[in-house]
Structure 1
Amino acid sequence: MDICPNRSRTVNFLIVATASVAAVLVVHGVTFLIARRIGRYNIVDITWGLGFVAIAAVAATLGSGDLFRRLLLLALTSLWGLRLAWHMYVKTKGHGEDPRYRDLLGGNLAPGNVIRRIFGTQAVATLVVALPLMLSATLGPAPAALNVVTGIGAAVWLAGLTCEAVGDHQLRVFKRDPANKGAIMDRGLWSWTRHPNYFGDACVWWGLWLVSIAGWISLATVASPVVMTYFLVQVTGARLTERYMKDRPGFREYCSRTSYFVPLPPRSHTR
């Protein structure tokens, strides 16, 4: 049973949501100014994880719901978001613009076009995906029966974070070796799935959603992990990455023996 009446919970949700919008606007606004100054917009990938950390912090601070769940979601989101931000910082440091953003802008670097196509889109996506964090922060303690769901969610989150971090590390080590220049990474987790980082990301958000569940009303936010997974699989994640890799030598053969998204044992021969 919730610790506050429905009306108070609604007011608290509006406060959390409004403050979250403000936090995301500040994070993306500062990033936009930095991007204009240095002349490349791929640093928005660093902001992606930080935007969720900001929302989790707002929810934990302003939410009036169960304190343990607020702090747990803040800790889990921060571990994921800060690791991802650092990884993207290291990955993009010293490099030029990402071809994806260059193609997306089509040479039109007008501030309005950049905000609409990159920063505004990511800000809206961040708010949509983070809805479970906002709502959960306003809900009281979950029934004891849901403790199992919380445990499962934490396990899914941990599996996803591990898969994402290990995949990123393996790819980074692979690229450091000059002998691998131009080669397809097909070792470790990358022999089980062509996108262990994106698969791990999806698991992280399904895990966070499960942890956020405090009652029937929490099911209303299931669209958030669904949207995140859809984008990771079909839009900005795996599908877009493969569009840029399809003509690389050996990529088709790699696809023929390696699962697209969900990790599966590699096929031993091409069909």
Structure 2
Amino acid sequence: MILTVAALILLALFLLTWRLSIRLDNYSFVDVTWSLAFAPVALWYALAHDGWMPRRAVIGVLVAAWSLRLGLHLWKRVASHHPKEDVRYAVLREKWKVNRERAFLWFFLMQGALVWLLMLPVHLIAQQEAMEFHPLEYAGLALWLLALTGEGLADAQLAKFKKTNRDPNAICQAGLWRYSRHPNYFFQSLLWWGLFLMALPAPWGWTAIVAPLAMLHFLLNVTGIPLTEKLSIEKRGDVYREYQRTTSAFVPWFPKR
């Protein structure tokens, strides 16, 4: 029942976003909803489950805080560009010329399903009845906080670069972006590995491995790095190819000479 309610919350959120996107003729708003959708589900799990209250409070607040920070960050970006659509959705718009609205409906619903899957660790953590924190939970919490800080720093560095640099074809290589072409994706992936560690002590906690693996797959093979890199090469050409040659794609590392 608890998982069903979570699914219904997500269904409502993404259906409303789909209708809003059609009305505003801008499908970029799904990014905002995807980010914000974790907060109500995390709070629902924290309230609905009967695990140890301090653990439920910690996981609910942590995930909701991350969700709201990322959602606000993306809202500012999408709102500042509206009515111009994110180039990723402009590409999909051209690809799905036939039955476009229906195609985007399924796309939005799949985003909701992904959120539901990614929240499996939180569902398991909130059920854990042990009345003390396990060492793995402390380790996962430390990794989560590190990832949250890194993701926020990467977003802030990129936003500052875009604000102060007038050349639309310039590449941000400031701070973390000097050591990784996608530090925001790297730290986002770490967030889910942190949740996996926190879920491990719970009954069936090992099944939470599907969440970080799913996130890693989407970032490395689907809508994350591949599409972003393809569009960056089309826009910046050899300048971006040189950035690819010298800079790690995902894991931050020292640049090549």
Common fold by TM > 0.5:
yes
Query: How far off its partner does 1:109 sit?
Result: 5.7
d(CA) in 1 for partners of 2:147, 2:226: 19
Q: Which contiguous aligned blocks of 4+ residues in structure 1 show a shift greater than 4 angstroms?
A: none
Q: What's 1:12 paired with?
A: none
Alpha-carbon spacing, 1:136–1:178, altered in 2? closer, same or farther (3 Å): closer
Q: Does residue 263 of the first structure (1) align with residue 247 of the second (2)?
A: no
d(CA) in 1 for partners of 2:38, 2:198: 16
RMSD between aligned alpha carbons?
A: 1.7
Aligned pair partner of 1:88 in 66, 69, 74: 74
Q: What's 1:131 paired with?
A: 120
d(CA) in 2 for partners of 1:36, 1:173: 31
Determine what percentage of the aligned residue pairs are the same residue: 33
d(CA) in 2 for partners of 1:44, 1:109: 18
Do 1:199 and 1:262's aligned partners in 2 also have CA atoms closer than 8 Å?
yes
1:115 maps to a residue whose letter is L
Long gaps (5+) in structure 2: none
Q: What's 2:86 paired with?
A: 98
Do 1:140 and 1:214's aligned partners in 2 also have CA atoms closer than 8 Å?
no
Q: Does residue 40 of the first structure (1) align with residue 34 of the second (2)?
A: no
d(CA) in 1 for partners of 2:109, 2:69: 23
1:69 maps to a residue whose letter is R
Do 1:233 and 1:239's aligned partners in 2 also have CA atoms closer than 8 Å?
yes
The aligned runs of 1:20-31 (5 Å cut-off) are: 20-31=6-17
d(CA) in 2 for partners of 1:102, 1:236: 14
d(CA) in 1 for partners of 2:126, 2:173: 41
Alpha-carbon spacing, 1:256–1:35, altered in 2? closer, same or farther (3 Å): same
TM value normalised by structure 2: 0.92
Do 2:120 and 2:208's aligned partners in 1 also have CA atoms closer than 8 Å?
yes
Do 1:150 and 1:211's aligned partners in 2 also have CA atoms closer than 8 Å?
yes
Q: 3-state SS of the aligned residue for 1:41?
A: coil
Q: What's 1:195 paired with?
A: 182
**Residue by residue, what CA displacement relative to the aligned partner does 1:58-78 show, whole Å, maximum 9, x if unpaired?**
101111122222111111111
Q: 3-state SS of the aligned residue for 1:264?
A: coil
Alpha-carbon spacing, 1:111–1:179, altered in 2? closer, same or farther (3 Å): closer
The aligned runs of 1:66-77 (5 Å cut-off) are: 66-77=52-63
Query: How far off its partner does 1:52 sit?
Result: 1.1
Q: What's 2:134 paired with?
A: 147
d(CA) in 2 for partners of 1:26, 1:64: 25
Q: What's 2:211 paired with?
A: 224
d(CA) in 2 for partners of 1:190, 1:49: 22
Do 1:28 and 1:47's aligned partners in 2 also have CA atoms closer than 8 Å?
yes
Do 1:174 and 1:180's aligned partners in 2 also have CA atoms closer than 8 Å?
no
Do 1:55 and 1:134's aligned partners in 2 also have CA atoms closer than 8 Å?
no
Query: How far off its partner does 1:239 sit?
Result: 1.8
2:6 maps to a residue whose letter is S
Do 2:199 and 2:208's aligned partners in 1 also have CA atoms closer than 8 Å?
no
**Residue by residue, what CA displacement relative to the aligned partner does 1:209-239 show, whole Å, maximum 9, x if unpaired?**
2223333511012111111111112211112
Aligned pair partner of 1:245 in 204, 229, 232: 232
Alignment size in residue pairs: 251
Alpha-carbon spacing, 1:108–1:80, altered in 2? closer, same or farther (3 Å): farther
